Amino acid sequence: MTDGRTSRVSRWGMALLLALSSTLLPAGCGDESGEEGGVSVMTQNVYVGFDVDPLLASQDPNEIPVLAAQAFAQLLSTNCPERAEAMADEIARKRPHLIGLQEVSLIRTQSPGDAALGGVVPAETVVFDYLEILRAALSARGLDYRVAGKIQNVDVELPMIVDPETFACDDIRLTDFDVVLARGDVETSNVTASNYMATLPLPSLGIEIRRGYVAVDAVIARRGSYRFASTHLEDTPFPEVQMAQARELAASLTGQSKPVILVGDFNSPAPVGEAYAYLNSLGYVDAWTRNARADQGAGLTWGHDSTLRNESDQFTQRIDLVLLNFSQAGLDPERIRVDAEVWGDERSERTSTGMWPSDHGAVLAEIGIATDRGRKGNR
C-alpha cells in the first residue's frame, strides 16, 4: 500500500515515460485499430474476378460470346462474397480511417440477351454488387464504414453464349467503380469524382475503357485534415494512356492546402514505372520508401493467378501504392513517418476454401508527421 505522495510520484513518472515514448516512436506505433498514432489508410484492388486479357486482346467480334461466357464462369468460381469476408476481417483488424477501393464491380445479366442481335436493352438483373457485399460483411462485424465518394468508370455489356448448339446468348454487363470508404468517425466533404479524358479504345468490343479518380476532404479527430484520393490508372501495356491519366490526376490535386494522400492501383511498377517517376518528380513521396517495418521486404502487390488458386505467393511487382504530398501544405516531407504492410500475400490470409482475397495485395499504412516536439500528425 502507498501513500498519496508516492502515488503522485508514480503518476508523474508514468506521464514522463509516455511523453518520452511519444517523442521517440515513429508514427504507426499505436494499436492496430488506428486509435493511436497517425492517420491510417488502406488501398485494395478488389479484383473483378476473371482474366480480362483474352477479351481485350480479341480482334474478332465473333469470339466475344465464347470469351464472355468463359469470363463469367471464372467470375463465379472466384466467388466475390467469400473473398469479401477475408477483406472485412482484415479491415476489422486494422480499422483504417480511409479506404481506397478499385475494381469494385457491379455484375448484371439479361436472359435471354439481345446484344448479339444488336439490341440495346440494358441488363439489369444483379448477380453481384461487390460494394454492397463488402459493406454487408463490414456491418456484420459491427464496423461503421460509409461510402464517402465513388466514380463510375467503364460500363460494358456483352453477349455470352449459353447454348453452343442453338447459339443462344445471354448478356453480361460489367460496371466498374472506384470507391472511397470512410470510417464512421471521419468527417468527409468536398467530394470530387471524375473520369479521365484519356481513354483506351477497344474497337472489337465497340467501347472505350474509362477510368477515373475520387477525392474527398477528410477531417480526422486529433490528426488534422487531409485530401484523400483513390484511382486506378490504365494497364501497363498502354503507357501513353496511363501517363495522360497521371497528368490529369496530378493537375486535379495541384494547389491543395491540405496534405494529400493518394492511393490506388497505379499499374506503374515502383520504382521504374514512368507514371510512378512522374508523380515522384512532382513531390509525391512513396510511403513504402519510408516504411519503418523492415520485416515487410519489397512490398510487392501483384501477380496471383486469375483463378486465385496458386499455392504460393506469386507477386512480382509493386503497383498498389500510397503516395504522399505534404509539401503543398507546408509540411516537411522528410518528417514523414510510416508503418506499412502488404496484406494478401501470406497463405494464412487466404479464404476458407484456399483462394487469395484478390490478385492484388492490399497496402495498409499508418502515416504521421514528426513535429519539432516529436509529436505526430497534421495539426
pLDDT per residue as tens digits for the range 69-110: 999 999 999 999 999 999 999 999 999 999 999 999 999 999
Number of residues assigned to the chain? 379
Confidence of residue 160 (pLDDT cuts 50, 70, 90): very high
Provide mean pLDDT across the span 138-157. Answer: 97
- Residues 219 and 150: their CA atoms lie apart, in Å, by 18
- Residues 102 and 233: their CA atoms lie apart, in Å, by 10
Please give the pLDDT value at position 206: 80
Kindly indicate whether the domain formed by 38-369 is annotated with CATH number 3.60.10.10.
Answer: yes
- Residues 97 and 103: their CA atoms lie apart, in Å, by 20
Residue 56 has pLDDT above 90, yes or no: no
Residue 66 has pLDDT above 70, yes or no: yes
Provide mean pLDDT across the span 122-148. Answer: 98
Residue 183 has pLDDT above 90, yes or no: yes
What angle (nearest 5°) sits at the alpha carbon of residue 136, between those of residues 133 and 139? 155
- Which single residue is written with the C-alpha cell 515502383? 270
- Residues 16 and 266: their CA atoms lie apart, in Å, by 44
Confidence of residue 303 (pLDDT cuts 50, 70, 90): very high
- Residue ranges covered by each domain of the chain: 38-369
Confidence of residue 14 (pLDDT cuts 50, 70, 90): very low
Please give the pLDDT value at position 60: 86
The answer to whether the beta carbons of residues 211 and 267 sit under 8 Å apart is no
Please, is 278 exposed, middle or buried when counting C-beta atoms within 10 Å of its C-beta (0-12, 13-18, 19+)? middle
Confidence of residue 37 (pLDDT cuts 50, 70, 90): low
Instruction: Express as a percent the part of the chain with pLDDT over 90.
Output: 74
3-state secondary structure of 237: coil
- Residues 137 and 85: their CA atoms lie apart, in Å, by 6
Please give the pLDDT value at position 61: 86
Selection from 45, 41, 48 nearest residue 227 by Cα: 41
Confidence of residue 200 (pLDDT cuts 50, 70, 90): very high
Please give the pLDDT value at position 26: 33
3-state secondary structure of 339: strand
